[in-house]
């Protein structure tokens, strides 16, 4: 029985090739890159990400393809960029991934398919994938649909969106 920390650090492609499937509840504090992009929750232990990852071998025209399906949900606190008060943001991930041979293939095919492409890399772990997708699910500019106390002007310095740090990460890792 693997502990959660061990599981999260597993290299993703070998795990998927072995038919990996898991359903987990992971504390936000464990997902450090996601936690850094959020306000500290009032009750840290209570904030948990529920996620499922399922690998699947598909056989289109006998060409074996290795796929992953990731579903995750997490509610975090972020600062509304209009009124600067804390707000709850529901993050939801439901994405399909397909492994390709290498990064060059991923770059060549990426525009032509719906799914996300993954190229094998030792640093591509369950935790990397989960954190990346949660960060991408965050709103570019978190703000209430209607603020109770809107400021007369918007703040000059918006928080940098975590997407900026992720640019090219999925395909561009060396
Ligand atoms: Zn607001």
Q: What is the pLDDT of residues 110-120, one digit of tens each?
A: 888 889 999 88
CB 126 within 8 A of CB 15: yes
C-alpha–C-alpha distance, residues 42 and 77, integer Å: 9
For residue 155, how many other CB atoms are within 10 A of its CB? 11
pTM: 0.78
Beta bridge partners of 86: 79
For 123-147, how does the pLDDT look when each residue is reduced to its tens digit (9 = 90+)? 889 999 999 999 999 999 999 988 8
**Residues 6+ away with beta carbon under 8 Å from 146:** none
CB 95 within 8 A of CB 154: no
The pLDDT of residue 169 is: 52
Q: pLDDT at residue 160 above 70?
A: no
For 53-112, how does the pLDDT look when each residue is reduced to its tens digit (9 = 90+)? 999 998 877 778 999 999 999 999 999 999 999 999 999 999 999 999 888 888 888 888
Q: What is the largest CA-CA distance in the chain?
A: 61
Backbone angles phi, psi at 33, to 5 degrees: -70, -35
Average pLDDT of the residues in 166-174:
50
How many angstroms separate the alpha carbon of residue 42 from the centre of ligand 1?
Answer: 19
Q: pLDDT at residue 174 above 50?
A: no
Containing structural domain, residue 76: 12-17+53-143+161-166
**Would 22 be classed as within a structural domain?**
no
**Would 116 be classed as within a structural domain?**
yes
**Would 153 be classed as within a structural domain?**
no
Report how far Cα 10 is from the mean position of its chain's Cα atoms. Answer: 16
**Residue 9 pLDDT grade (very low, low, confident, very high; cuts 50, 70, 90):** confident
Which residues line ion ligand 1, judged by CB < 5 Å?
80, 82-83, 144, 147
CB 134 within 8 A of CB 72: yes
Q: How many domains does the chain have?
A: 1
How many angstroms separate the alpha carbon of residue 139 from the centre of ligand 1?
Answer: 14
How many angstroms separate the alpha carbon of residue 70 from the centre of ligand 1?
Answer: 31
CB 77 within 8 A of CB 36: no
How many angstroms separate the alpha carbon of residue 25 from the centre of ligand 1?
Answer: 29
How many angstroms separate the alpha carbon of residue 157 from the centre of ligand 1?
Answer: 16
Q: Structure tokens of 56?
A: 């699947």
């Amino acid at each position: 029985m693997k502990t959660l920390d061990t599981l999260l650090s597993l290299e993703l492609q070998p795990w998927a090739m072995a038919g990996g499937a898991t359903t987990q509840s992971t504390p936000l504090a464990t997902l450090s890159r996601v936690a850094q992009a959020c306000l500290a929750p009032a009750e840290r232990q209570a904030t948990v990400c529920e996620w499922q990852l399922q690998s699947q071998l598909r056989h289109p025209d006998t060409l074996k393809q290795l796929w992953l399906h990731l579903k995750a949900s997490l509610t975090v606190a972020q600062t509304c960029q209009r009124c600067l008060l804390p707000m709850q943001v529901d993050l939801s991930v439901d994405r399909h991934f397909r492994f390709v041979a290498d990064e060059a293939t991923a770059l060549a095919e990426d525009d032509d398919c719906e799914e996300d492409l993954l190229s094998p890399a030792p640093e591509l772990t369950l935790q990397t994938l989960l954190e990346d997708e949660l960060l991408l699910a965050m709103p570019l500019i978190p703000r209430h649909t209607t603020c109770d106390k809107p400021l007369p002007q918007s703040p000059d310095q918006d928080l940098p969106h975590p997407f900026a740090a992720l640019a090219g990460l999925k395909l561009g890792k060396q």
